[in-house]
Chain A
Amino acid sequence: QPVLTQSSSASASLGSSVKLICTLSSGHSNFIIAWHQQQPGKAPRYLMKVEGSGSYNKGSGVPDRFSGSSSGADRYLTISNVQSEDEADYYCETWDSNTHVFGSGTKVTVL
């Protein structure tokens, strides 16, 4: 069954870019993942799905500064022109026919 690995934290200065990584376990490098954002004290929000090909599909209302990409077993979420409201926890999610899992989350701090 798939396992997702995320780094625990990342930081970015206001107006800069940050690239978050979510790594799929061995044997699952072609899996689709989804990214979710959880701002402090709020429910999570779907951002996008990212496929192994690197194509991504964003949810309604997700700002253009959020984008996705892929390389091998790694799935990325890039936030360009980071804003203060981007300070949040970011989780990746994947699944197969028998399993549904989340990564442990990456806390993004805006400096």
Chain B
Amino acid sequence: QITLKESGPTLVKPTQTLTLTCTFSGFSLTTTGVSVGWIRQPPGKALEWVALIYWDDDRYYTPSLKSRLTISKDTSRNQVVLTMTNMDPVDTATYYCVYRLNGYGVRNWGQGNLVTVSS
């Protein structure tokens, strides 16, 4: 059974750096075709890709956020970490960790972590 759980702050101040951790189980991020990523959803709005890291350490960053993002993995601890610098109130959203499989898209979702950016 695949599970993903996000952890991190619920409130950050403008200009601060956000660090989110995804801890997963039920699969290995060393398996060919597997990736783990982050998708966000502002309140009342649609889903938006943020970043993705692949089994072979390749990375995808959504172009509009690329300069602010870093995604990394620790396969021994089954964790993926996302950092986003210079947070702004428009970054207020629920951030979901997801398991993705080549050829299928996103297969599993975490429960989400609501991050509010406010002073």
Contact segment of B15-23, B83-91, B105-113: B105-113
CB distance from B20 to the nearest CB of A (A): 15
User: Is A43 a contact partner of B112 (Cβ separation < 8 A)?
Assistant: yes
Closest residue of chain B to A101 (Cβ to Cβ) is: B49
- Interface residues of B, count at CB 8 A: 20
Chain A interfacial positions (CB closer than 8 Å to B) = 32-34, 36, 43-46, 49, 57, 59, 91, 93-95, 98, 100-105
User: Is A43 a contact partner of B109 (Cβ separation < 8 A)?
Assistant: yes
Closest residue of chain A to B102 (Cβ to Cβ) is: A95
Give the residue of B52, B107, B108, B110 whose beta carbon is less than 8 angstroms from that of A100.
B52
Give the residue of B49, B105, B110, B111 whose beta carbon is less than 8 angstroms from that of A34.
B105
Q: Can you name 10 A-B residue pairings with CB atoms under 8 Å?
A: A32-B105, A43-B111, A44-B96, A46-B105, A100-B37, A100-B49, A100-B60, A102-B49, A103-B46, A105-B47
User: Is A91 a contact partner of B105 (Cβ separation < 8 A)?
Assistant: no
User: Is A43 a contact partner of B110 (Cβ separation < 8 A)?
Assistant: yes
When distances are taken between beta carbons in the complex, the residues of chain A under 8 Å from B46 are: 91, 102-105
In the complex, A44→B106 CA distance in Å?
A: 10
Known: A44-B109, A49-B104. 5 other contacts (CB 8 A): A32-B103, A36-B47, A43-B96, A43-B112, A49-B105
CB distance from B111 to the nearest CB of A (A): 5
In the complex, A59→B98 CA distance in Å?
A: 15
User: Is A45 a contact partner of B109 (Cβ separation < 8 A)?
Assistant: yes
In the complex, A54→B39 CA distance in Å?
A: 27
User: Is A34 a contact partner of B47 (Cβ separation < 8 A)?
Assistant: no
Closest residue of chain A to B108 (Cβ to Cβ) is: A46
B56 within 8 A of A: no
When distances are taken between beta carbons in the complex, the residues of chain B under 8 Å from A32 are: 103-105
In the complex, A33→B106 CA distance in Å?
A: 10
